[in-house]
Structure 1
């Protein structure tokens, strides 16, 4: 199963939409260098499929784009939320492991306040970086172990 990266997104503060960058550097025990959510924990990198963003657009939510849900990687071609925890993903130069599917939103992000709903809690996934490297737009995502 393969997909691709359609955007790399970063923010210096938590709880805000991220801006898109051309290329990201991902470090072991950290995540995306320069991102507010990075650190030595199990949710180093967040991923959300463009398919999930399209679901929100289909119910009439306007102005959605990559990074709006505070995801580090916007992907295409893989139903991320169906991958079991422990799945290994080769993304660009990196190797990452799925550590969590979805999340509980305690403080409701900017998107929730703007539109009254968010797909990140149910369809976003989180990974930790096992092998460092760079990721850029259009890099392949390979599911190498489920």
Structure 2
């Protein structure tokens, strides 16, 4: 199933926007400060949630979290655990549908809404390759 999409940004290092992400099966995203092998090699977030996060002042993760891929026109609930997704010349698998909230986060303590909990998707790299701003996203069913 091919999905319409619009990439708002691709990010590496300390929230630096880039035009291309290079995915590797050995270490995750090349040149990413958080690059590591495992089930959370890539972080994905939608534009709507990013805008909410940008306007939240409190929260343990709010100022530290930055997704590698910000997308628009794809509902995050369509991206589920175990789904393979082709983007550009790469293939990734959604591994985590939620971001863990830390017990000492002020948002959690005060019962406030945090869009990161339900709207972050993590993925691991199945086949390395490059992702560009013009690539389509295809969910492999």
TM-score normalised per structure 2: 0.76
Rounded to whole Å, the distance in 1 between the matches of 2:138 and 2:42 is 16
CA apart distance, 1:35: 1.2
Matching residue within 65, 70, 73 for 1:74: 70
- What residue in structure 2 maps to residue 15 of structure 1? none
Q: Distance in 1 between matches of 2:25 and 2:79?
A: 21
Structure 2: runs of 5 or more not aligned: 57-63, 106-111
Q: 1:29 to 1:85 in 2, by over 3 A?
A: farther
Gaps of 5+ in 1: 13-17, 63-67, 109-115
Query: Do 1:26 and 1:33's aligned partners in 2 also have CA atoms closer than 8 Å?
Result: yes
8 Å contact 1:81–1:124 — kept in the other structure? Answer: no
Aligned ranges for residues 1-146 of structure 1 at < 5 Å? 1-2=2-3, 3-11=5-13, 18-54=15-51, 56=52, 61=55, 69-106=65-102, 118-145=114-141
The one-character-per-residue Cα deviations of 1:55-113 (angstroms, maximum 9, x if unpaired) are x18xx928xxxxx84000011221123422001111111100000011113375xxxxx
- TM-score where L is the length of structure 1: 0.74
Q: 1:51 to 1:138 in 2, by over 3 A?
A: farther
Q: CA deviation at 1:42?
A: 0.5
How much is the aligned-residue C-alpha RMSD, in angstroms? Answer: 2.7
SS in 1 for 2:22: strand
What is the rounded CA distance, in whole Å, between the counterparts of 2:16 and 2:115 in structure 1? 18
* Kept after mapping to 2: 8 A contact 1:30/1:129: no
Give the number of equivalent residue pairs. 127
